[in-house]
Structure 1
Amino acid sequence: MQPFFFFFGRRLTIGPLIIIGGNEDKTHEGAILQRVVQLTQASSRQPILGVVTTASREGQAAFSQYQKIFTELGLKEVLGLTVDSRREASRAERVYAIRRCAMLFFSGGDQLRITSVLGGTLFHHVLLEEHRRGLAVAGTSAGASMMSDTMIVMGEGEKAPTKNTVQMAPGMGLWVGAVIDQHFSQRGRIGRLLSALAQNPGILGVGLDEDTAIEVRLAEHRLRVWGSRTVTLLDGSSVDETNASESRADRPLAITGVRLHVLPQGYDFDLNERLPGSLRDPRED
Protein backbone atom coordinates (compact mmCIF):
# COMPACT_ATOMS: atom_id res chain seq x y z
CA MET A 1 0.00 0.00 0.00
CA GLN A 2 1.40 3.39 -0.96
CA PRO A 3 1.87 6.02 1.76
CA PHE A 4 -0.13 9.20 1.29
CA PHE A 5 -1.26 12.29 3.15
CA PHE A 6 -4.66 13.97 3.56
CA PHE A 7 -4.76 17.74 3.20
CA PHE A 8 -8.16 19.36 3.77
CA GLY A 9 -9.87 16.16 2.68
CA ARG A 10 -7.75 15.60 -0.43
CA ARG A 11 -5.50 12.58 -0.88
CA LEU A 12 -1.98 13.69 -1.74
CA THR A 13 1.06 11.75 -2.89
CA ILE A 14 4.66 12.76 -2.23
CA GLY A 15 6.32 14.37 -5.26
CA PRO A 16 9.18 12.67 -7.12
CA LEU A 17 12.85 13.48 -6.55
CA ILE A 18 15.30 13.79 -9.46
CA ILE A 19 18.79 13.43 -7.97
CA ILE A 20 21.62 14.17 -10.42
CA GLY A 21 25.32 13.36 -10.08
CA GLY A 22 26.47 16.64 -11.65
CA ASN A 23 27.76 17.68 -15.07
CA GLU A 24 24.51 16.60 -16.73
CA ASP A 25 24.13 16.81 -20.51
CA LYS A 26 22.55 20.21 -21.10
CA THR A 27 21.78 19.72 -24.79
CA HIS A 28 18.52 18.60 -26.36
CA GLU A 29 19.95 15.05 -26.35
CA GLY A 30 20.27 14.88 -22.57
CA ALA A 31 17.77 12.46 -21.03
CA ILE A 32 17.94 13.88 -17.51
CA LEU A 33 16.92 17.49 -18.08
CA GLN A 34 14.34 16.29 -20.60
CA ARG A 35 12.86 14.19 -17.79
CA VAL A 36 12.80 17.23 -15.49
CA VAL A 37 10.83 19.12 -18.12
CA GLN A 38 8.52 16.17 -18.76
CA LEU A 39 7.63 15.85 -15.07
CA THR A 40 7.08 19.60 -14.77
CA GLN A 41 4.71 19.62 -17.73
CA ALA A 42 2.85 16.49 -16.60
CA SER A 43 2.24 17.74 -13.06
CA SER A 44 -1.25 18.49 -11.78
CA ARG A 45 0.24 21.75 -10.50
CA GLN A 46 1.04 24.74 -12.72
CA PRO A 47 3.84 23.81 -15.19
CA ILE A 48 6.31 26.22 -13.60
CA LEU A 49 9.90 25.34 -12.66
CA GLY A 50 11.75 27.27 -9.95
CA VAL A 51 15.56 27.31 -9.98
CA VAL A 52 17.16 27.57 -6.52
CA THR A 53 20.76 28.77 -6.77
CA THR A 54 21.61 29.05 -3.07
CA ALA A 55 24.52 26.58 -3.41
CA SER A 56 26.31 28.83 -5.89
CA ARG A 57 28.22 32.02 -5.13
CA GLU A 58 27.26 33.17 -8.64
CA GLY A 59 23.54 32.59 -8.34
CA GLN A 60 22.39 34.91 -11.10
CA ALA A 61 24.75 33.32 -13.63
CA ALA A 62 23.59 29.84 -12.60
CA PHE A 63 19.94 30.85 -12.94
CA SER A 64 20.49 32.44 -16.36
CA GLN A 65 22.13 29.25 -17.63
CA TYR A 66 19.32 26.97 -16.48
CA GLN A 67 16.59 29.40 -17.49
CA LYS A 68 17.92 29.33 -21.06
CA ILE A 69 18.25 25.53 -21.06
CA PHE A 70 14.79 24.80 -19.68
CA THR A 71 13.14 27.36 -21.93
CA GLU A 72 14.79 25.80 -24.97
CA LEU A 73 13.56 22.38 -23.79
CA GLY A 74 9.98 23.64 -23.82
CA LEU A 75 9.07 25.22 -20.49
CA LYS A 76 7.19 28.49 -20.74
CA GLU A 77 7.88 29.78 -17.21
CA VAL A 78 11.12 29.37 -15.26
CA LEU A 79 11.39 31.30 -11.98
CA GLY A 80 14.60 32.36 -10.26
CA LEU A 81 14.53 31.65 -6.52
CA THR A 82 17.81 33.24 -5.49
CA VAL A 83 17.88 32.96 -1.69
CA ASP A 84 21.26 33.93 -0.25
CA SER A 85 20.51 34.64 3.42
CA ARG A 86 18.46 33.17 6.24
CA ARG A 87 16.55 36.44 6.49
CA GLU A 88 15.55 36.18 2.85
CA ALA A 89 14.66 32.49 3.35
CA SER A 90 12.04 33.56 5.89
CA ARG A 91 10.39 36.27 3.77
CA ALA A 92 6.87 35.06 2.99
CA GLU A 93 6.65 36.76 -0.42
CA ARG A 94 9.84 35.01 -1.53
CA VAL A 95 9.08 31.62 -0.03
CA TYR A 96 5.48 31.25 -1.16
CA ALA A 97 6.63 31.35 -4.79
CA ILE A 98 7.41 27.68 -4.14
CA ARG A 99 3.67 27.02 -4.07
CA ARG A 100 3.33 28.21 -7.67
CA CYS A 101 5.80 25.62 -8.94
CA ALA A 102 5.46 22.05 -10.16
CA MET A 103 9.22 21.48 -9.79
CA LEU A 104 12.10 23.05 -7.87
CA PHE A 105 15.58 22.58 -9.32
CA PHE A 106 18.59 23.06 -7.00
CA SER A 107 21.79 23.99 -8.83
CA GLY A 108 25.29 22.86 -7.90
CA GLY A 109 27.89 24.55 -5.72
CA ASP A 110 28.35 23.90 -1.99
CA GLN A 111 25.72 21.79 -0.23
CA LEU A 112 26.60 23.35 3.13
CA ARG A 113 25.46 26.71 1.76
CA ILE A 114 22.05 25.16 1.06
CA THR A 115 21.59 23.74 4.55
CA SER A 116 23.16 26.64 6.46
CA VAL A 117 21.09 29.24 4.58
CA LEU A 118 17.81 27.35 4.18
CA GLY A 119 17.78 24.73 6.96
CA GLY A 120 15.04 25.31 9.54
CA THR A 121 13.70 28.45 7.84
CA LEU A 122 10.24 29.13 6.45
CA PHE A 123 11.63 28.18 3.03
CA HIS A 124 12.63 24.75 4.36
CA HIS A 125 9.28 24.14 6.05
CA VAL A 126 7.30 25.14 2.95
CA LEU A 127 9.58 23.02 0.74
CA LEU A 128 8.89 19.90 2.84
CA GLU A 129 5.18 20.69 3.05
CA GLU A 130 4.83 21.21 -0.70
CA HIS A 131 6.87 18.09 -1.45
CA ARG A 132 4.35 16.11 0.58
CA ARG A 133 1.63 17.74 -1.52
CA GLY A 134 3.17 16.68 -4.84
CA LEU A 135 5.93 19.20 -5.58
CA ALA A 136 8.75 17.54 -7.55
CA VAL A 137 12.29 18.41 -6.44
CA ALA A 138 15.43 18.04 -8.56
CA GLY A 139 19.03 18.78 -7.67
CA THR A 140 22.43 18.42 -9.31
CA SER A 141 25.82 17.96 -7.60
CA ALA A 142 25.49 19.87 -4.30
CA GLY A 143 21.77 20.01 -4.99
CA ALA A 144 21.81 16.21 -4.99
CA SER A 145 23.77 15.73 -1.76
CA MET A 146 21.43 17.93 0.28
CA MET A 147 18.35 15.76 -0.46
CA SER A 148 18.90 13.23 2.34
CA ASP A 149 18.44 13.71 6.09
CA THR A 150 22.18 13.15 6.64
CA MET A 151 24.55 14.43 3.96
CA ILE A 152 28.23 14.32 3.07
CA VAL A 153 29.71 17.80 3.46
CA MET A 154 33.24 17.03 2.33
CA GLY A 155 35.75 14.22 2.22
CA GLU A 156 38.75 12.82 0.43
CA GLY A 157 38.27 10.82 -2.73
CA GLU A 158 40.45 7.87 -3.74
CA LYS A 159 41.32 7.08 -0.10
CA ALA A 160 40.61 4.04 2.08
CA PRO A 161 37.64 4.66 4.39
CA THR A 162 38.53 6.09 7.81
CA LYS A 163 36.60 8.31 10.20
CA ASN A 164 38.53 11.23 8.72
CA THR A 165 37.62 10.30 5.14
CA VAL A 166 34.26 12.03 5.31
CA GLN A 167 32.55 14.84 7.19
CA MET A 168 28.78 14.73 7.58
CA ALA A 169 26.01 17.12 8.59
CA PRO A 170 22.20 17.25 8.57
CA GLY A 171 20.68 17.53 5.10
CA MET A 172 17.31 18.93 4.00
CA GLY A 173 15.43 15.71 4.82
CA LEU A 174 13.58 15.10 1.57
CA TRP A 175 14.76 11.47 1.56
CA VAL A 176 15.17 9.80 4.94
CA GLY A 177 17.48 6.78 5.26
CA ALA A 178 19.88 7.53 2.42
CA VAL A 179 23.25 9.26 1.97
CA ILE A 180 24.07 10.63 -1.48
CA ASP A 181 27.41 11.33 -3.15
CA GLN A 182 27.94 12.82 -6.60
CA HIS A 183 30.66 12.92 -9.30
CA PHE A 184 31.09 9.41 -7.93
CA SER A 185 33.27 7.35 -10.29
CA GLN A 186 34.89 10.43 -11.81
CA ARG A 187 36.34 11.48 -8.44
CA GLY A 188 36.89 8.04 -6.89
CA ARG A 189 34.45 8.55 -4.03
CA ILE A 190 33.57 4.99 -3.04
CA GLY A 191 35.87 5.22 0.02
CA ARG A 192 34.04 8.17 1.48
CA LEU A 193 30.62 6.61 0.84
CA LEU A 194 31.79 3.42 2.58
CA SER A 195 33.03 5.56 5.47
CA ALA A 196 29.58 7.15 5.75
CA LEU A 197 28.02 3.68 5.65
CA ALA A 198 30.35 2.29 8.33
CA GLN A 199 29.34 5.10 10.67
CA ASN A 200 25.64 4.88 9.76
CA PRO A 201 24.85 1.17 9.17
CA GLY A 202 21.42 0.49 7.79
CA ILE A 203 21.29 3.41 5.37
CA LEU A 204 21.34 3.22 1.59
CA GLY A 205 24.49 4.76 0.15
CA VAL A 206 23.90 6.30 -3.27
CA GLY A 207 26.86 7.12 -5.54
CA LEU A 208 25.86 9.01 -8.69
CA ASP A 209 28.19 9.32 -11.65
CA GLU A 210 28.20 12.49 -13.70
CA ASP A 211 25.37 12.79 -16.24
CA THR A 212 23.46 10.16 -14.26
CA ALA A 213 20.35 10.58 -12.13
CA ILE A 214 17.85 8.63 -10.12
CA GLU A 215 14.14 9.36 -10.10
CA VAL A 216 12.99 8.49 -6.58
CA ARG A 217 9.32 7.68 -6.03
CA LEU A 218 9.02 7.49 -2.25
CA ALA A 219 5.28 6.81 -2.40
CA GLU A 220 5.99 3.73 -4.52
CA HIS A 221 9.18 2.71 -2.68
CA ARG A 222 11.25 2.62 -5.87
CA LEU A 223 13.80 4.49 -7.90
CA ARG A 224 14.68 4.52 -11.60
CA VAL A 225 18.06 5.27 -13.20
CA TRP A 226 18.50 7.88 -15.96
CA GLY A 227 21.54 9.12 -17.87
CA SER A 228 24.67 7.97 -19.65
CA ARG A 229 26.64 6.34 -16.80
CA THR A 230 25.76 4.41 -13.62
CA VAL A 231 24.53 4.69 -10.06
CA THR A 232 26.30 2.68 -7.35
CA LEU A 233 24.07 1.59 -4.47
CA LEU A 234 25.65 0.44 -1.21
CA ASP A 235 23.07 -1.32 0.95
CA GLY A 236 24.02 -1.20 4.62
CA SER A 237 20.92 -3.00 5.91
CA SER A 238 22.80 -6.31 5.98
CA VAL A 239 26.03 -5.00 7.57
CA ASP A 240 27.04 -7.44 10.30
CA GLU A 241 30.19 -5.78 11.63
CA THR A 242 31.90 -2.40 11.69
CA ASN A 243 34.66 -1.08 13.94
CA ALA A 244 33.63 2.56 13.52
CA SER A 245 33.05 3.14 17.24
CA GLU A 246 36.44 1.72 18.30
CA SER A 247 38.69 2.77 15.43
CA ARG A 248 41.02 5.76 15.69
CA ALA A 249 40.14 8.62 13.38
CA ASP A 250 43.04 8.00 11.01
CA ARG A 251 42.89 4.18 10.98
CA PRO A 252 41.16 2.13 8.25
CA LEU A 253 37.57 1.19 8.97
CA ALA A 254 36.23 -2.36 8.82
CA ILE A 255 32.77 -2.98 7.41
CA THR A 256 31.39 -6.39 6.41
CA GLY A 257 28.22 -7.55 4.73
CA VAL A 258 27.69 -4.54 2.45
CA ARG A 259 25.63 -5.31 -0.66
CA LEU A 260 26.67 -3.45 -3.80
CA HIS A 261 24.66 -2.80 -6.96
CA VAL A 262 25.80 -0.91 -10.07
CA LEU A 263 22.88 0.12 -12.29
CA PRO A 264 22.73 1.97 -15.64
CA GLN A 265 19.77 3.75 -17.24
CA GLY A 266 16.55 1.76 -17.35
CA TYR A 267 17.01 -0.19 -14.13
CA ASP A 268 14.64 0.06 -11.19
CA PHE A 269 15.45 -0.49 -7.52
CA ASP A 270 12.91 -1.51 -4.86
CA LEU A 271 13.57 0.59 -1.75
CA ASN A 272 11.66 -1.75 0.55
CA GLU A 273 13.16 -5.04 -0.64
CA ARG A 274 16.51 -3.40 -1.46
CA LEU A 275 16.62 -5.30 -4.75
CA PRO A 276 17.11 -4.14 -8.35
CA GLY A 277 14.43 -4.71 -10.96
CA SER A 278 14.84 -5.76 -14.56
CA LEU A 279 16.05 -3.57 -17.39
CA ARG A 280 13.37 -1.58 -19.17
CA ASP A 281 13.09 1.57 -21.24
CA PRO A 282 12.55 4.42 -18.73
CA ARG A 283 10.67 6.41 -21.36
CA GLU A 284 7.79 3.95 -21.02
CA ASP A 285 6.62 5.79 -17.87
Structure 2
Amino acid sequence: MNIPKGTLIIIGGAVDKGSFTEQNFDPDVEKNLNFFEKGILNRIIRESCKKQDSRIEVITTASKIPKKVGSEYVRAFNYLGAKNVDMLNIDKREQANDDEYLERLANADTVMFTGGDQLRLTTFLGGTKFHDLLLQKYYHENFVIAGTSAGAAAASDSMIYQGSSSEALLKGEVKITSGLGLIQDVIIDTHFVQRGRIGRLFQAVVSNPKVLGIGLGEDTGLVIKENKSMEVVGSGLVILVDGRFIKHTNITQVPLGSPISIENLVVHVLSIHDVYHLDTHTIIMHEHVSVDDEY
Protein backbone atom coordinates (compact mmCIF):
# COMPACT_ATOMS: atom_id res chain seq x y z
CA MET A 1 0.00 0.00 0.00
CA ASN A 2 1.33 3.43 -0.94
CA ILE A 3 2.15 5.81 1.90
CA PRO A 4 0.77 9.30 1.28
CA LYS A 5 3.14 12.27 1.46
CA GLY A 6 0.19 14.48 2.35
CA THR A 7 -1.58 15.09 5.65
CA LEU A 8 -5.25 14.34 6.34
CA ILE A 9 -7.10 16.35 9.00
CA ILE A 10 -10.62 15.17 9.84
CA ILE A 11 -12.86 17.23 12.14
CA GLY A 12 -16.11 16.33 13.89
CA GLY A 13 -18.00 19.46 12.89
CA ALA A 14 -18.92 22.78 14.50
CA VAL A 15 -15.33 23.96 14.38
CA ASP A 16 -14.95 26.70 16.96
CA LYS A 17 -13.93 29.26 14.40
CA GLY A 18 -16.10 31.95 15.97
CA SER A 19 -19.17 33.12 14.12
CA PHE A 20 -18.78 36.54 12.62
CA THR A 21 -22.57 36.86 12.50
CA GLU A 22 -23.10 36.39 16.24
CA GLN A 23 -24.75 39.36 17.91
CA ASN A 24 -22.39 39.12 20.88
CA PHE A 25 -19.30 39.16 18.65
CA ASP A 26 -16.38 40.74 20.47
CA PRO A 27 -14.25 43.16 18.41
CA ASP A 28 -11.22 41.50 20.00
CA VAL A 29 -11.35 38.50 17.69
CA GLU A 30 -9.05 36.36 19.86
CA LYS A 31 -11.80 36.21 22.51
CA ASN A 32 -14.14 34.62 19.96
CA LEU A 33 -11.75 32.22 18.29
CA ASN A 34 -10.57 29.47 20.60
CA PHE A 35 -8.58 28.01 17.74
CA PHE A 36 -6.04 30.80 18.17
CA GLU A 37 -4.75 28.79 21.12
CA LYS A 38 -5.90 25.19 20.68
CA GLY A 39 -6.95 25.39 17.33
CA ILE A 40 -7.81 23.22 14.53
CA LEU A 41 -7.79 25.87 11.80
CA ASN A 42 -4.48 27.19 13.09
CA ARG A 43 -3.12 23.64 12.94
CA ILE A 44 -4.28 23.34 9.32
CA ILE A 45 -2.22 26.42 8.45
CA ARG A 46 0.82 25.12 10.34
CA GLU A 47 0.62 21.77 8.52
CA SER A 48 0.37 23.51 5.13
CA CYS A 49 3.66 23.54 3.22
CA LYS A 50 3.87 27.35 2.91
CA LYS A 51 2.19 28.07 6.25
CA GLN A 52 0.34 31.42 6.06
CA ASP A 53 1.38 31.85 2.43
CA SER A 54 -0.24 28.57 1.40
CA ARG A 55 -2.90 28.54 -1.27
CA ILE A 56 -6.04 27.28 0.51
CA GLU A 57 -9.24 26.34 -1.31
CA VAL A 58 -12.38 26.02 0.83
CA ILE A 59 -14.52 23.43 -0.98
CA THR A 60 -18.20 24.01 -0.18
CA THR A 61 -19.71 21.23 -2.33
CA ALA A 62 -21.31 19.46 0.64
CA SER A 63 -23.22 22.56 1.75
CA LYS A 64 -26.58 23.82 0.46
CA ILE A 65 -25.58 27.34 1.57
CA PRO A 66 -22.06 27.37 0.11
CA LYS A 67 -21.47 31.13 0.00
CA LYS A 68 -22.43 31.67 3.63
CA VAL A 69 -20.45 28.69 4.91
CA GLY A 70 -17.45 29.31 2.70
CA SER A 71 -17.16 32.99 3.54
CA GLU A 72 -17.05 32.16 7.27
CA TYR A 73 -14.06 29.89 6.75
CA VAL A 74 -12.30 32.31 4.42
CA ARG A 75 -12.70 35.10 6.97
CA ALA A 76 -11.53 32.84 9.81
CA PHE A 77 -8.43 31.76 7.90
CA ASN A 78 -7.76 35.41 7.04
CA TYR A 79 -7.82 36.37 10.74
CA LEU A 80 -5.24 33.66 11.35
CA GLY A 81 -2.93 35.26 8.81
CA ALA A 82 -3.66 33.10 5.76
CA LYS A 83 -4.46 35.56 2.99
CA ASN A 84 -4.33 33.32 -0.10
CA VAL A 85 -7.71 31.69 0.55
CA ASP A 86 -10.72 31.29 -1.74
CA MET A 87 -13.95 29.34 -2.07
CA LEU A 88 -14.44 26.56 -4.61
CA ASN A 89 -17.98 25.26 -5.07
CA ILE A 90 -18.67 22.30 -7.33
CA ASP A 91 -22.38 21.50 -7.49
CA LYS A 92 -22.49 19.57 -10.77
CA ARG A 93 -20.44 16.53 -11.83
CA GLU A 94 -19.40 18.16 -15.10
CA GLN A 95 -17.68 20.94 -13.13
CA ALA A 96 -15.46 18.31 -11.46
CA ASN A 97 -14.03 17.50 -14.91
CA ASP A 98 -13.64 21.16 -15.94
CA ASP A 99 -10.13 22.49 -16.58
CA GLU A 100 -10.77 25.64 -14.52
CA TYR A 101 -11.52 23.68 -11.33
CA LEU A 102 -8.74 21.20 -11.99
CA GLU A 103 -6.23 24.02 -12.34
CA ARG A 104 -7.33 25.54 -9.05
CA LEU A 105 -6.89 22.20 -7.31
CA ALA A 106 -3.51 21.69 -9.00
CA ASN A 107 -2.31 25.06 -7.65
CA ALA A 108 -3.63 24.49 -4.12
CA ASP A 109 -1.42 23.60 -1.16
CA THR A 110 -4.41 22.83 1.08
CA VAL A 111 -8.10 22.10 0.62
CA MET A 112 -10.76 22.38 3.32
CA PHE A 113 -14.03 20.47 2.78
CA THR A 114 -16.88 22.10 4.71
CA GLY A 115 -19.83 20.38 6.33
CA GLY A 116 -23.19 19.61 4.80
CA ASP A 117 -24.24 16.34 3.16
CA GLN A 118 -21.47 13.82 2.48
CA LEU A 119 -23.52 12.23 -0.32
CA ARG A 120 -23.14 15.49 -2.25
CA LEU A 121 -19.36 15.07 -2.06
CA THR A 122 -19.32 11.49 -3.33
CA THR A 123 -22.07 12.08 -5.89
CA PHE A 124 -20.50 15.19 -7.44
CA LEU A 125 -16.82 14.30 -7.05
CA GLY A 126 -16.53 10.50 -6.98
CA GLY A 127 -14.80 9.05 -10.05
CA THR A 128 -14.15 12.47 -11.65
CA LYS A 129 -10.87 14.05 -12.76
CA PHE A 130 -11.08 16.26 -9.69
CA HIS A 131 -11.26 13.19 -7.44
CA ASP A 132 -8.34 11.56 -9.28
CA LEU A 133 -6.21 14.70 -8.92
CA LEU A 134 -7.11 14.99 -5.24
CA LEU A 135 -5.83 11.46 -4.60
CA GLN A 136 -2.74 12.05 -6.72
CA LYS A 137 -1.80 15.21 -4.81
CA TYR A 138 -2.47 13.55 -1.45
CA TYR A 139 -0.23 10.58 -2.19
CA HIS A 140 2.59 12.33 -4.06
CA GLU A 141 2.80 15.91 -2.73
CA ASN A 142 3.15 17.71 0.59
CA PHE A 143 -0.56 18.45 0.39
CA VAL A 144 -3.08 18.96 3.19
CA ILE A 145 -6.67 17.74 2.93
CA ALA A 146 -8.92 18.88 5.78
CA GLY A 147 -12.59 18.10 6.18
CA THR A 148 -15.17 18.90 8.81
CA SER A 149 -18.44 17.05 9.43
CA ALA A 150 -19.49 15.78 5.97
CA GLY A 151 -15.98 16.53 4.72
CA ALA A 152 -14.58 14.19 7.38
CA ALA A 153 -17.20 11.46 6.99
CA ALA A 154 -16.48 11.20 3.26
CA ALA A 155 -12.70 10.80 3.67
CA SER A 156 -12.60 7.05 4.19
CA ASP A 157 -13.27 4.10 1.86
CA SER A 158 -16.57 3.32 3.60
CA MET A 159 -18.89 6.17 4.57
CA ILE A 160 -21.92 6.43 6.82
CA TYR A 161 -24.49 8.56 5.03
CA GLN A 162 -27.70 7.87 6.94
CA GLY A 163 -28.91 6.40 10.22
CA SER A 164 -31.03 7.46 13.16
CA SER A 165 -29.08 7.90 16.38
CA SER A 166 -31.96 6.58 18.49
CA GLU A 167 -32.46 3.45 16.38
CA ALA A 168 -28.87 2.86 15.31
CA LEU A 169 -28.58 -0.55 16.98
CA LEU A 170 -31.52 -1.94 15.06
CA LYS A 171 -30.33 -4.08 12.16
CA GLY A 172 -30.38 -2.20 8.86
CA GLU A 173 -30.83 1.30 10.30
CA VAL A 174 -27.31 2.48 9.38
CA LYS A 175 -26.68 3.12 5.70
CA ILE A 176 -23.12 2.83 4.35
CA THR A 177 -21.69 3.55 0.91
CA SER A 178 -18.28 4.25 -0.63
CA GLY A 179 -16.42 7.40 0.37
CA LEU A 180 -13.59 9.32 -1.30
CA GLY A 181 -11.00 6.68 -0.36
CA LEU A 182 -8.33 8.91 1.20
CA ILE A 183 -7.81 6.46 4.06
CA GLN A 184 -8.58 2.73 4.26
CA ASP A 185 -9.85 0.39 7.00
CA VAL A 186 -11.58 3.09 9.03
CA ILE A 187 -15.11 4.48 9.10
CA ILE A 188 -15.78 7.95 10.44
CA ASP A 189 -18.78 9.49 12.18
CA THR A 190 -19.06 13.14 13.21
CA HIS A 191 -20.91 15.37 15.72
CA PHE A 192 -20.39 12.19 17.67
CA VAL A 193 -20.86 12.99 21.35
CA GLN A 194 -23.35 15.81 20.86
CA ARG A 195 -25.74 13.77 18.69
CA GLY A 196 -25.36 10.45 20.50
CA ARG A 197 -24.13 8.54 17.46
CA ILE A 198 -22.17 5.79 19.19
CA GLY A 199 -24.77 3.19 18.19
CA ARG A 200 -24.28 4.06 14.51
CA LEU A 201 -20.57 3.38 14.79
CA PHE A 202 -21.16 0.13 16.70
CA GLN A 203 -23.31 -1.23 13.86
CA ALA A 204 -20.86 -0.05 11.19
CA VAL A 205 -17.98 -1.83 12.94
CA VAL A 206 -19.82 -5.05 13.79
CA SER A 207 -20.72 -5.37 10.10
CA ASN A 208 -16.98 -5.46 9.27
CA PRO A 209 -14.74 -5.76 12.35
CA LYS A 210 -11.58 -5.14 10.32
CA VAL A 211 -12.63 -1.50 10.07
CA LEU A 212 -11.79 0.83 12.97
CA GLY A 213 -14.65 3.11 13.93
CA ILE A 214 -13.70 6.75 14.54
CA GLY A 215 -16.21 8.99 16.33
CA LEU A 216 -15.26 12.67 16.27
CA GLY A 217 -16.72 15.09 18.78
CA GLU A 218 -17.48 18.64 17.74
CA ASP A 219 -14.51 21.04 17.55
CA THR A 220 -12.32 17.93 17.69
CA GLY A 221 -10.22 16.35 15.00
CA LEU A 222 -7.43 13.99 14.04
CA VAL A 223 -4.23 14.94 12.25
CA ILE A 224 -3.31 11.82 10.28
CA LYS A 225 0.21 11.26 8.93
CA GLU A 226 1.11 8.49 6.46
CA ASN A 227 -2.39 7.06 7.08
CA LYS A 228 -0.94 5.59 10.27
CA SER A 229 -0.38 8.08 13.07
CA MET A 230 -3.49 9.94 14.32
CA GLU A 231 -3.09 12.84 16.77
CA VAL A 232 -6.13 14.35 18.51
CA VAL A 233 -6.56 18.12 18.20
CA GLY A 234 -9.29 20.43 19.45
CA SER A 235 -11.36 20.73 22.59
CA GLY A 236 -13.40 17.52 22.74
CA LEU A 237 -13.17 13.74 22.53
CA VAL A 238 -12.43 11.10 19.92
CA ILE A 239 -14.06 7.68 20.40
CA LEU A 240 -12.44 4.67 18.73
CA VAL A 241 -14.39 1.45 18.25
CA ASP A 242 -12.27 -1.66 17.67
CA GLY A 243 -14.16 -4.74 16.54
CA ARG A 244 -11.21 -7.12 16.13
CA PHE A 245 -11.92 -8.84 19.46
CA ILE A 246 -15.67 -9.33 19.09
CA LYS A 247 -16.54 -12.80 20.38
CA HIS A 248 -20.13 -13.01 19.26
CA THR A 249 -22.92 -11.01 17.65
CA ASN A 250 -26.42 -11.89 16.53
CA ILE A 251 -26.46 -9.48 13.57
CA THR A 252 -26.56 -12.28 10.99
CA GLN A 253 -29.42 -14.10 12.74
CA VAL A 254 -31.93 -11.38 13.62
CA PRO A 255 -34.34 -9.89 11.05
CA LEU A 256 -34.12 -6.31 9.81
CA GLY A 257 -35.32 -3.81 12.41
CA SER A 258 -34.40 -6.04 15.36
CA PRO A 259 -31.94 -5.05 18.12
CA ILE A 260 -28.33 -6.21 17.75
CA SER A 261 -26.25 -7.88 20.46
CA ILE A 262 -22.44 -7.60 20.50
CA GLU A 263 -20.03 -9.27 22.92
CA ASN A 264 -16.56 -7.86 23.65
CA LEU A 265 -16.53 -4.73 21.52
CA VAL A 266 -13.53 -2.57 22.54
CA VAL A 267 -13.91 1.20 22.92
CA HIS A 268 -11.16 3.79 23.49
CA VAL A 269 -11.61 7.46 24.47
CA LEU A 270 -8.92 9.94 23.44
CA SER A 271 -8.43 13.66 24.05
CA ILE A 272 -6.12 16.43 22.90
CA HIS A 273 -2.60 15.37 21.79
CA ASP A 274 -3.25 11.65 22.40
CA VAL A 275 -1.94 9.56 19.48
CA TYR A 276 -3.28 6.32 18.01
CA HIS A 277 -1.17 4.24 15.62
CA LEU A 278 -3.31 2.45 13.05
CA ASP A 279 -0.56 0.01 12.05
CA THR A 280 0.16 -1.27 15.57
CA HIS A 281 -3.21 -0.45 17.23
CA THR A 282 -1.37 1.26 20.09
CA ILE A 283 -2.20 4.44 22.00
CA ILE A 284 0.21 7.03 23.33
CA MET A 285 -1.55 9.21 25.88
CA HIS A 286 -0.36 12.79 26.21
CA GLU A 287 1.00 13.65 29.64
CA HIS A 288 -1.07 16.64 30.74
CA VAL A 289 0.84 18.77 33.24
CA SER A 290 -1.30 20.36 35.93
CA VAL A 291 -0.71 23.88 37.20
CA ASP A 292 0.52 22.46 40.55
CA ASP A 293 3.07 20.27 38.75
CA GLU A 294 4.67 23.31 37.13
CA TYR A 295 5.87 24.72 40.44
TM-score, normalization: structure 2? 0.87
Gapped runs of 5+ residues in structure 1? 5-12
CA distance in 2: counterparts of 1:191 and 1:112, whole angstroms = 21
Change (3 A) 1:118 1:3: closer
Q: State the aligned residue count.
A: 270
CA distance in 1, matches of 2:237, 2:213: 14
Contact 2:245 2:266 in 1 (8 A): yes
Does the aligned pair in 1 maintain the 2:53–2:83 contact within 8 Å?
A: no
- Counterpart CA distance in 1 for 2:107 and 2:252 is 46
- The partner residue of 1:58 within 47, 60, 65 is 65
Write out aligned runs for 1:206-217 (5 A).
206-217=214-225
Match of 1:29 in 2: 34
Question: Which of 151, 164, 169 is the aligned partner of 1:161?
Answer: 169
**Greater alpha carbon shift after TM alignment, 161-170 vs 235-244:** 235-244
Q: Say which of 273, 276, 283 aligns to 1:269.
A: 276
Equivalent residues in 2 for 1:230-245 (5 A)? 230-245=237-252
Match of 1:82 among 65, 76, 89: 89
Matched, 1:15 2:6: yes
| Cα deviation, residue 89, structure 1 | 0.6
Using the TM superposition, give the Cα deviation of residue 37 of structure 1 relative to its aligned residue in structure 2, in angstroms: 1.5
CA-based RMSD:
1.9
Give the aligned residue type for 1:153. Y
1:142 to 145, 150, 156: 150
TM superposition shift of 1:279: 0.6
Query: Match for 1:171 among 179, 198, 213?
Result: 179
Larger CA Rg, structure 1 vs 2: 2
CA apart distance, 1:46: 6.8
Task: Give matches, 1:57-136, under 5 Å.
Answer: 57-133=64-140, 134-136=142-144
User: Against the structure 1 CA distance between its residues 139 and 280, is the aligned structure 2 distance closer, same or farther, given a 3 Å change threshold?
Assistant: farther
Residue deviations 1:136-184 (CA, integer Å, cap 9, x gap)? 1001111110001000001111335122331111100001111000010
1:182-261 correspondence to structure 2 within 5 Å: 182-218=190-226, 221-261=228-268
Contact 2:48–2:143, Cα closer than 8 Å, also in 1? no
Separation (CA, whole Å) in 1 of partners of 2:143 and 2:120:
22
1:106-133 Cα shifts (integer Å, max 9, x gaps): 0000000000111111111111111102
Residues of 2 paired with 1:129 and 1:91: CA distance?
Answer: 17
**Corresponding residue SS for 2:77:** helix
- Unaligned segments of structure 2, at least 5 residues: 19-32, 289-295
Q: CA deviation at 1:198?
A: 1.2
Is the contact between residue 2 and residue 139 of structure 2 (CA under 8 Å) also seen in structure 1? no
In 1, are the aligned partners of 2:53 and 2:84 still within 8 Å (CA)? no
Question: Structure 2 CA distance, aligned partners of 1:65 and 1:165?
Answer: 34
Name the amino acid aligned to 2:80: L
* Distance of 1:94 and 1:42 partners within structure 2: 21
Shift in Å at residue 280 of structure 1?
Answer: 4.7
Shift of 1:247: 2.2
Q: Do the aligned residues in 2 keep the contact of 1:213 with 1:226 (CA within 8 Å)?
A: yes
**Identity of counterpart residues, as a percentage?**
37
Using structure 1 for the length normalisation, give the TM-score.
0.89
Shift of 1:242: 2.8
Equivalent-residue separation in structure 1 for 2:259 and 2:150 (angstroms):
27
